[in-house]
Amino acid sequence: MDKSILFPIILEWQRIVAQTEGIFRSYQAELFELMGSRPIKIVTGFRRSGKSFLVQKTISQLIAMKKIERKNVLYLNFEDYQLAQVNNASLLDEVFQLFMNEIADEGKRLIVLDEIQLVKDWDKFVRTIYEKYRNIEIILTGSNSELLSSELGSNLAGRFVEIEILPFDFKEFVLIRGLEVKNENDYFENINKINALFGEYLNFGGLPELVSITTEKAKQSYLEGVLSKVVLDDVVNRFNVRQPAVIEQIIKYLFIGTGNITSYARLSAHLKTAGYEVKTDTVANYVDFIIKTFAMYTLEKLEYKQSRVFSTIKKFYSVDTGFPAFYGGYFQIYSRLLENAVFLKLKREADQINFGQNESGKEIDFIITARDRSVINYQVATTLNENNKDRELSSFVSIDRYVSNGRHVFLSTDTDEKTIEYSGIKIERRNIIKWLLEIS
C-alpha cells in the first residue's frame, strides 16, 4: 500500500486516541488492570456499544500515565473507509511493518485492531505477532462472536482474555446526562429529573452515540439504522442468509416479546402465520446468527427440583431497551422494558442467570445462582397492589420449597420499599430505579 496514504492515517489515529475523553466506565478499570499482562485482550460486544471508545479511553489513560509512548501505539479501525483495502493478513502485515520500521520508537508497543473480524485470516497475523514479539501488547475488538470464536478456539486458544461490554446501564446513562446520584439524598433531590431520564432510557436505550441526539425522530432514525446494519451486514451478508425478510420477522417478534417464554417451534408457527414456511431447525439457526451479533441474549429454564437446565423453552432479551421499544412501542410493552433493563443489570454482575417455571406455569423472572450456590430470585412488575399481589408473589412460594437458602426480591416502580411476608416467606420490595442506580 502507498506509504503516503498510511502515514497520515496512523498518525491521526494516534492523536485521536491520545485525546479521548469521556465518562469512566467500570469496563475501563477491568481492561486497564489487564494491561501489562501477556495475553491478548479481546473486547467484544454489540455494534455501537462503546467498544472503540473504551479501548481509546484506556490508551489515553496509559499515555497520560506515561506507561506507553503515543508514537508506539498502532490503532487501526477497520470500519474506517481509508483502511478498506486492508482486508487480509498480508496487507495488514504491510501496515504493521511500516509502523515498526518508520514510526515507532524502541520500547513497548501497543497494537489495537478494531473490528478485526473484517480482515481475512486476521488470527494468523495476530498469532505470529504474539509469538514473535515479546514487547508488543495486543488489543482486539469485534462485533461478531461467530467470526471471532472459530479463530480464537483454533489458533489463539489459551492466549487471550475477553471482556464483553454492554451499552450504558441506567446509572451510566444518568451520569452521562450530567447527574451523579450517590445516595438517597441525591435521588430525592433530583427525583423528577431521574424519573424523566428513566423513561427516556427505557424508550431509546443506552447506546453511547444515541445519548447526544436531542430529538425523538432522530433517535428513532438512529435505532432503525443500527438495526438495519445488524440485519443486513451482521446476519444476512456474513452468514449468507437467503431469507432476509425472515430474519427481520424473527428480530421483530423476539424484541417485541422480550422476556416472554417461547420456543423455536412457537416461533416457526408465528412465521407461518406471517406467510413464511421455515423449518424449526432453520429458525434455530437464524436465532443463533442473531445472538452471535450480540444483539440478543437467551435465558434457559432452571428446574429447581431436578437441578437441571432445560433448553427446549427459552426467554430472549435485547442488548438494549431501545430496540424492543422501537418495535413494540414504549407504553405498549412498558413492563417488558422494565424486565429487560433488570436483565441487563444482572448480566453485568451475575455468575449464572436462568428463569423458573413450575408445573402450573407460575414463573420467576430471574434466578441468580452464585458461585457458592446461593440463590436470589427476582420478580419484576410495574406495580404491586391488591389486584395483582397473589399473581406476582405466589411464584416465590411455589418454588421456595426447593431453595432453602434463597432470597426473594420484588422489583417495581412503587416507592414502598420494605421486607414483606407472603405465605410464610420473606420478600424484599425494591424500587427498580433506585435498584438500578445502586442506592440501598
Rounded alpha-carbon distances, angstroms, from residue 56 to 35, 52, 75, 160, 275: 13, 6, 9, 19, 46
Strands 407-412 and 40-45: unpaired
pLDDT in tens, 14-47: 999 999 988 889 899 999 999 999 999 999 999 8
Report the pLDDT averaged over residues 93-122. Answer: 94
For residue 369, the model assigns a pLDDT of 84
Query: CB–CB of 114/48 below 8 Å?
Result: no
Domain coordinates of the chain in residue numbers? Answer: 3-165, 171-436
Query: CB–CB of 120/87 below 8 Å?
Result: yes
For residue 406, the model assigns a pLDDT of 81
Rounded alpha-carbon distances, angstroms, from residue 221 to 131, 228, 261, 392: 45, 10, 30, 37
Spatial CB neighbours of 412, under 8 Å, sequence gap ≥ 6: 380, 381, 382, 383, 384, 429, 430, 431, 432
Query: CB–CB of 286/270 below 8 Å?
Result: no
**Run of H or E residues at 254:** helix 244-256
For residue 4, the model assigns a pLDDT of 80
Whole-number Å distance between alpha carbons of 280 and 432: 37
CA atoms within 13 A on the CB side of 119: 28
pTM comes to 0.92
pLDDT in tens, 370-386: 777 788 999 999 999 99
Rounded alpha-carbon distances, angstroms, from residue 367 to 127, 404, 408: 39, 14, 10
Report the pLDDT averaged over residues 126-152. Answer: 84
- Burial class of residue 415, CB neighbours in 10 A (0-12, 13-18, 19+): exposed
- CATH number given to 3-165: 3.40.50.300
Report the pLDDT averaged over residues 338-352. Answer: 94
Q: What crossing angle do the helices spanning 26-34 and 51-64 adopt, rounded to 10°? A: 60
Rounded alpha-carbon distances, angstroms, from residue 278 to 130, 192, 232, 267: 44, 48, 19, 10
Spatial CB neighbours of 415, under 8 Å, sequence gap ≥ 6: 431
Rounded alpha-carbon distances, angstroms, from residue 239 to 65, 89, 146, 284, 288: 43, 21, 9, 14, 11
Whole-number Å distance between alpha carbons of 192 and 36: 44
CB atoms within 10 A of CB 37: 10
Query: How is 291-333 classified by DSSP, letter by letter?
Result: HTTTSEEEEEEEETTTTEEEEEEEEEEESSTHHHHHHH-TTTT
pLDDT in tens, 175-223: 999 999 999 999 999 999 999 999 999 999 999 999 889 999 999 999 9
Using CA of residue 122, residue 34, residue 49, residue 301, what is the dihedral sign? positive
Q: Which residue has the cell 479481546?
A: 42
If we measure between CA atoms, which residue out of 358, 354, 345 comes closest to residue 298?
354
Whole-number Å distance between alpha carbons of 95 and 99: 6
pLDDT in tens, 144-185: 776 566 666 567 777 888 899 999 999 999 999 999 999 999
3-state secondary structure of 270: helix
For residue 378, the model assigns a pLDDT of 96
For residue 306, the model assigns a pLDDT of 55
